[in-house]
Amino acid sequence: MNNNSFSNERFIKRLSLCVGYSCTNNCRFCAVASKRSYPDKTTEQIKTELKESYLSGSREVVFTGGEFTIRKDVFEIVKTARDLGYYIIQAQTNGRRFSSKEFCKNILLSGLNEFGPALHGHTAQIHDFLTRREGSFRQTVLGIYNMKKMTKGKIKTITNTVVTKYNYKYLPQIADLLIKLGVDQCQFAFVHAMGNAGRYFRSVVPKKTDVLPYLKKAINLCKKNKLKVMAEAIPFCLMEGYERYVSELYIPSTELRERGNVVERFEDVRKSDAKAKFIQCRQCIYDKICEGPWKEYPQHYGDKEFKPVRRRSEKERVCSNTI
């Protein structure tokens, strides 16, 4: 799940490059947990894919996993992306290795210029419970602190928080912590019910309507403190007055490269195969731009939460030019 940014350049092609599924966390909601046994890509495979995608027009790359930063060749791979000419090089990461100042120094020297850590709780109790790794909260928070201090704000920090049954009531508190840490942008991504989240659906995946009051309070807090914020996989019909914060408005065209699979335009596959729309959506004014929820969600909870919007809310009209 890529971290997205508010940008006038959102139509620039991005490469989302999965390097493998090895990870130092074992999150209760991990969407790729069933792929953990697959071998990670070799250094040469990754270099080849970076070159191929650059030649096809990609100018941004987000390294994903698993956990990209635990690879022994992490600095070499980042340098390769820099030398090829990618001008945005982001690590989508659990952030734990960034608790080492030496690691931060080396990856920055290699060319990393965007930092995408994941923080899933405002306390160690919640975050570590979700990651199933004691001490991960401390390391991730320290990683964010180190990167902000070492780069003096010159490297953008874009966080991702997966919204689950365990943490949704604390989204405002998580937002408050992110504000205090000085991150540049945050995203609250509704859990995708694949992998561990699919296996333990009832204990991990909340109802979207239950999440909304806490999500909107968190957005209000971010907006008040001038922290850019988005919400992913929450359809427009549930975001009355907050439509401008729907992540899908800002996701750039993305080439997805996983193990043995290349998707040239992931946005097309996401809309046609990964998300779900309903009969009532045809009556909604947002039908043409809304992707709907991840398809696994209505398979369990149905579609009664999703009601067509007949006209834009007054609040959204007033705030349409404000992010």
**Which two tokens mark 253?**
């065209």
Indicate left, alpha or beta for 53 from its phi (over 0: left) and psi (-120 to 50: alpha): alpha
Q: Is residue 3 part of a domain?
A: no
Cα(71)–Cα(79) distance, integer angstroms: 14
Q: Is residue 64 part of a domain?
A: yes
Please tell me the predicted confidence (pLDDT) of residue 320: 47
Average pLDDT per run of 10 along the chain, which is 323 residues long?
Answer: 51 90 97 92 97 95 97 98 97 98 98 98 98 98 97 94 98 98 98 96 97 98 98 97 95 88 86 94 96 97 96 53 38
Q: Is residue 177 part of a domain?
A: yes
Cα(287)–Cα(114) distance, integer angstroms: 33
CATH number, domain with residue 33: 3.20.20.70
Q: Which residues pair with 234 in a beta bridge?
A: none
Please tell me the predicted confidence (pLDDT) of residue 260: 77
Q: Is residue 6 part of a domain?
A: no
Q: Is residue 184 part of a domain?
A: yes
Please tell me the predicted confidence (pLDDT) of residue 312: 66
Amino acid letter for position 232: E
Counting the structural domains of the chain, the total is: 1
SS3 76: helix
Please tell me the predicted confidence (pLDDT) of residue 261: 83
Q: Is residue 9 part of a domain?
A: no
pTM of the full structure: 0.92
For residue 167, give its domain range: 14-319
Q: Is residue 5 part of a domain?
A: no
Q: Which residues pair with 189 in a beta bridge?
A: 162, 232
Q: Is residue 74 part of a domain?
A: yes
> CB-based contacts of 319: which residues, under 8 Å, 6+ apart?
241, 244
What is the arrangement of strands in the sheet containing 60-64, beginning at the earlier edge strand?
228-232, 185-190, 156-163, 114-117, 88-93, 60-64, 14-18, 254-258, 261-263
